[in-house]
Amino acid sequence: MAKPISFFVHHQGRGHAQRTMAIVRELPASQPVSVLTADPSLFDGFERDIEIVPLPNMIGAPVPTPALYDQPTPAVMHCVPLGLAPMRQTMRRILDHLDDRGTGLFVIDVSAELALLARIASVPAIKIRMHGNRSDAGHTAAYDACTGMLAPFDARLEQPDYPDWARAKTFYSGGLCTSSQRRDDRAEARRALGLPAERELVVAITGGGGAGTPYAPLTMAARAAPDTLFVTVGPLHREGHETDFANLVNHGWVSHTSDYIAAADIVIASAGDNTVHEIMRTGRPYICAPEWRYFDEQQRKAESLAAVGAAIHLPRWPGDLEGWRDLLERARALDIECQRGLHDPHAAARAAGWLMSRMDTLWQEETRQGRRAAPQVSIAATGT
């Protein structure tokens, strides 16, 4: 029987879970799969038969004493407060599961600390790559500890400062879009959404991982371009002093974001992985307004998109009318041919195939011959 593949899925936002489901769908039906996550509801309705292992939600857990709280964080770790029972329970549950199932590959999306834990526990790990300023000791150690990294984007979007030794152990799946729905035709999408057929349409999109699209700057956009219809999708961040305009309409949460992307003449969106690749798949002028994320993840991704000409990087929302008019003109002039190929319709299948190949490479002798005599390792001899 094939060794199981276990996934750790971070529960912030929806993207980590959606990416995992897209990849798992492409794994062989006979491949045992388990998912460890602090929010099992992210996998409600998933059609594949997988084992879900609920983990404690450690976010916000109070540290018991001021002295424990004052202890400095080790350089090779990011978030390891002392004295937390939920943290011990999480680590124990993960280790017990990996041990009980005999996991052959642990795919981590995402946690630098769990990559180190997997190596200490003698479990081969794969880390999902994300953009950002990740040259710190924690990320470097995690990359070093893994048997490989999976980058769910095109190699052309790689950061120039990503070290060569890490690049050599990274598999680039191509742009992985987790949405199965698609409607590319602009006119058809507008009819389906009840939007004007001929009016210039700018769609501003925010996903579930942040605070929402800032509404005040969009009111300035509506004033700057009164003949353009601005439609927002997803949550909005309101400050309470904004003036509404007839050409600025909020559609809130929607079930098919891809329809709005298809309907748009220009898309304003953050740099979330799935949003980026939905836009690349459809091909629309893209103003990338990165949201704050740890390690400047979205800023670096926006820089990479702008470097290949696939988007306009918007580090700061315009606060004046001329700033908005200039931005919209730049978007209208963007050559969307630069987006071609940054989405790969087979990316999830490529990622799944690579995971299976890593499993085969790491375990093939045991698989072919059963347990056999292996090189004897003396822990004492390592000097640790």
Which residue blocks in 46-195 are alpha helix, DSSP H?
Answer: 66-69, 85-101, 112-120, 137-145, 164-167, 186-193
Are residues 163 and 20 part of one domain?
yes
CA distance 174 to 154: 4
Residue 342 has pLDDT above 90, yes or no: yes
Model confidence at 210, pLDDT cuts 50, 70, 90, reads low
Residue 384 has pLDDT above 50, yes or no: no
Whether 181 is covered by a domain: the verdict is no
Whether 328 is covered by a domain: the verdict is yes
For residue 93, the domain's CATH number is 3.40.50.2000
Are residues 350 and 227 part of one domain?
no
Whether 116 is covered by a domain: the verdict is yes
User: Which residues partner with 171 through β-bridges?
Assistant: 150
Are residues 148 and 68 part of one domain?
yes
Model confidence at 383, pLDDT cuts 50, 70, 90, reads very low
Instruction: Provide, rounded to the nearest whole percent, the portion of the chain with pLDDT above 70.
Output: 95
CA distance 260 to 202: 10
Model confidence at 380, pLDDT cuts 50, 70, 90, reads very low
Are residues 213 and 166 part of one domain?
no
- The total of structural domains in the chain comes to 2
Q: Residue 316 corresponds to which amino acid?
A: R
CA distances from residue 156 to 102, 246, 309 in whole angstroms, order as listed:
36, 41, 11
CA distance 152 to 164: 18
Residue 371 has pLDDT above 80, yes or no: no
pLDDT of residue 382: 40
Are residues 376 and 238 part of one domain?
no
Whether 360 is covered by a domain: the verdict is yes
Whether 370 is covered by a domain: the verdict is yes
Model confidence at 13, pLDDT cuts 50, 70, 90, reads confident
Are residues 76 and 164 part of one domain?
yes
User: For residue range 121-133, what is the model confidence (pLDDT) as tens digits?
Assistant: 999 999 999 999 9
Are residues 190 and 155 part of one domain?
no
CA Rg, the chain, in Å? 23
Are residues 170 and 198 part of one domain?
no
CA distance 282 to 336: 10
Look up the domain containing 254 and give its range. Answer: 186-339
Are residues 262 and 349 part of one domain?
no
Are residues 312 and 284 part of one domain?
yes
Are residues 209 and 63 part of one domain?
no
Model confidence at 212, pLDDT cuts 50, 70, 90, reads confident
Q: What is the mean pLDDT of residues 79-99?
A: 95
Q: Which of 20-29, 144-153, 203-212, 277-286 has the lowest mean pLDDT?
A: 203-212
Are residues 39 and 134 part of one domain?
yes
